[in-house]
Amino acid sequence: MQPNEMLKFITGRHSPRAFAAQEISSAELEMVFEAARWAPSSYNSQPWRFMIGLRGSHVYKTILSSLSEWNQQWAQSAPVLVTTMITKYYEHNNAPYYHAHHDLGIAIGQLSMQALSQNLYLHHIGGFDPKMLAEKLNIPDKYEIVTVFALGYRGSDDRIPKDIAELTNSNQRTRKPLTEIMFIDQIPQ
Ligand SMILES: Cc1cc2nc3c(=O)[nH]c(=O)nc-3n(C[C@H](O)[C@H](O)[C@H](O)COP(=O)(O)O)c2cc1C
């Protein structure tokens, strides 16, 4: 891969709300999660865990039902819903794993770039009930649910309610300028 090709995946990434009905083959799905496997982590402890819900399955229905009503309206268009988790403690000494969220974030970042290279998109979701989801999915206490994400190919807007499609399309993808996030020598007080 040429260095400038990576940029294409970063600039081309966005969070759609309308997903195509097209299913993701198990080979494609495994490739996406393979990218997470290779992320760096504190002590190489690999705290990330993913519970995959394929459309029609009990897990999919459970994840969907844990989302806020608004999120449910569009997320139901995705063929795959994923619960992301971390291990709360290091395996080697059972100490609290303070950097687990950090490491999960890197893994998901890598995963989303790999997904895009396969024409697959993610939409992260924080608007859900993690307690209810942990109970219904029987998640052991050693794990903490962090987020949910929808995964799939991009679909046409008629797959989701009109107002949500309009809102999504009218959203300008803006970011803070570099001067607000990158400091050399001193940080503004
Ligand atoms: C942790 C997290 C939680 C999010 N929760 C929601 C959500 O509940 N509903 C939603 O529609 N979008 C959600 N988003 C998507 C963000 O709004 C979106 O990533 C942001 O506006 C930037 O847009 P972009 O991903 O297209 O660049 C979430 C994103 C992250 C990273």
In tens, the pLDDT along 29-73 reads: 999 999 999 999 999 999 999 999 999 999 999 999 999 999 999
Amino acid identity of residue 115, one-letter, is A
Q: Which residues of 114-129 are buried (b: 16+ CB within 10 A; e: fewer)?
A: bbbbeebbbbebeebe
Query: Which atom of ligand 1 is found nearest the CA of 147?
Result: 1
Domain count, the chain: 1
Given a cut of 50, the residues of the chain with pLDDT beneath it are none
pLDDT for res 173: 86
Which residues constitute the domain of residue 59? 3-181
- For residue 148, give the CATH number of its domain: 3.40.109.10
- DSSP for 89-109 reads B-TTT--B-TTHHHHHHHHHH
Q: From the CA of 16, how far away is ligand 1's center (Å)?
A: 10
Is residue 14 one of the residues assigned to a domain? yes
Best of 84, 124, 174 to mutate for ligand 1, by most ligand atoms within 8 A of CB? 124
- For residues 97 and 47, the answer to whether their CB atoms sit within 8 Å is yes
In a domain, 102, yes or no: yes
Q: For residue 166, how far is its CA from the centre of ligand 1 (angstroms)?
A: 16
Asked, for residue 92, whether it belongs to a domain, the answer is yes
Write out the E strands in 112-177: 121-125, 143-152
Asked, for residue 31, whether it belongs to a domain, the answer is yes
CA 41 to CA 51: how far, in whole Å? 20
Tally the residues of the chain.
189
Task: Give the residue among 81, 50, 60 at the shortest CA–CA distance from 150.
Answer: 81
Let me know: does 52 contact 60? Beta carbons within 8 Å. Answer: no
pLDDT score for 171: 85
**pLDDT (0 to 100) of residue 2:** 59
* Domain-embedded: residue 189: no
Tokens of 69: 């009503």
| Any ligand 1 atom below 6 A from CB of 112 | no
The answer to the question of residue 186 being in a domain is no
Q: Where do the DSSP E strands lie in the chain?
A: 48-54, 80-87, 121-125, 143-152
Provide the pLDDT for residue 38.
Answer: 98
